[in-house]
A and B are shown apart, each in its own frame.
Chain A
Amino acid sequence: MSIACDNLRIAPSGVDADNARALAALGSLVARTPVVALSVGPNPGSLTRKHIGWL
């Protein structure tokens, strides 16, 4: 298992206080909000509201 580190910075000494708070905020975001995964097909121009489950 690996952590992508796109939004958090992990120093050799660990996660600093700001990044720990950011991780907590991201955890709240994911916990409180509907989350979906989207794989876009060959024609992104045909994306509509329903493709992200938003009607």
Chain B
Amino acid sequence: MMGIKAQSLTDLIASSVSSAYWKPDLEPIRRVYNLNGFTFGVAAGDEQLASFLDPILAPLACPPTASCDWIVELSPVAVIDVPTDARRIFEGPLPEGLTCAMVEDGDGRKLIVPGHFAMWFRRAARRTDLSFVPGKEDGLGGTAAFWMLDDLLAAHGRFLLHGGLVVDPKSESSIAIFAPSGTGKTTTVLALAHAGFCLAGDDALVLDVGEDGCGMWAVPRKLKVDRKTAALLPWLDALLTGNWIDNEQALEIGALQPVVSCALPRRRRVGLVVVLTSPNPNDHAITPIAKPDALMSIA
């Protein structure tokens, strides 16, 4: 029966944004990533939107499929703001400078960047709903993407950690390197890769505790090489052909392949944990560390 239908919120939103972005039904799944044991699909109105995680996950992409363990769906909206009655868990700036708030909302948490985008982490529904204001979606791929990844991984018993990873090509065991930012993690990871280990990553690791012990893989994002690292490792010179931004250059892990071996981002047993301490002016020094102290340093 044809009739007059009350204008729903969806219709209101649809009428207020560009039709190029909007489709009234579920968006098709255009990108699927296999995170070493489970898959998630990104549903969006176009390929460019759907690939917003490629800068950090492209090597884990697999052919699109209708069945995934988790769905991330992007939808355009006209306005994004923090509800005044929401219970705020966190409020502050993202490293990119955007102000954000994390709030409790129904069956999940919501990360809201007013005027830009919102991420609704809905574990019970095995979904992450991303709303964005068209033209303001650039920030989706930055720190917020890692918050989303953190939630998605935690829902599957995996944990996103800050650290570097190299792989021993003989044993296929991984070696995790932990240190606070700015204490030489990238330099050490690159130096070890040049010494014969395979480079996996310098910043973001995923840990799980399986029946076979602890496993890890590195998020295959670009490495950020600063001028000090470049000066300490002159063999990098030939690869640093881009522009320096804030004294850093971003390098695809694959771009290092001519100089060092690179490891595919797949899960491997952890064979060694290295806790980096302050550099010293004499020579490299390896020392035992009590496990409680190591845990305190890593945590």
Binding site for B on A (CB under 8 A): 1, 3-8, 11, 18, 21-23, 25-49, 51-54
Q: Known pairs A6-B180, A29-B298, A35-B275. 19 more at Cβ < 8 A?
A: A3-B299, A4-B298, A6-B298, A21-B154, A22-B154, A28-B214, A31-B291, A32-B213, A33-B214, A33-B271, A35-B289, A39-B277, A40-B191, A47-B188, A47-B284, A48-B196, A53-B286, A54-B168, A54-B175
Residues B154 and A18 in contact, CB atoms below 8 Å apart: yes
Residues A8 and B289 in contact, CB atoms below 8 Å apart: no
Give the Cβ gap from B26 to chain A, nearest Cβ, in Å.
Answer: 28
- Please provide the chain B residues from 177 to 198 with a CB less than 8 Å away from any CB of chain A in the complex: 178, 180, 184, 187-188, 191-192, 194-197
Instruction: Identify which of A18, A39, A54 contacts B280 (C-beta below 8 A).
Output: A39
Question: What are 14 A-B pairs at a CB distance below 8 A?
Answer: A6-B298, A26-B159, A29-B207, A29-B273, A33-B213, A33-B271, A36-B272, A36-B273, A37-B289, A38-B285, A40-B191, A40-B276, A42-B282, A47-B284
Please, how many angstroms separate the alpha-carbon atoms of A18 and B180 in the complex?
21
- Please provide the chain B residues from 82 to 127 with a CB less than 8 Å away from any CB of chain A in the complex: 89-90
CB contacts (< 8 Å) of A18 on chain B: these are: 151, 154
Please, how many angstroms separate the alpha-carbon atoms of A22 and B175 in the complex?
19
Give the Cβ gap from A18 to chain B, nearest Cβ, in Å.
Answer: 4
- Majority DSSP secondary structure for residues of B touching A: mixed
Please, how many angstroms separate the alpha-carbon atoms of A15 and B282 in the complex?
40
- Answer yes or no: B278 CB below 8 A from chain A CBs: yes
Give the Cβ gap from B101 to chain A, nearest Cβ, in Å.
Answer: 14
CB contacts (< 8 Å) of B294 on chain A: these are: 30, 35, 37
- Answer yes or no: B245 CB below 8 A from chain A CBs: no
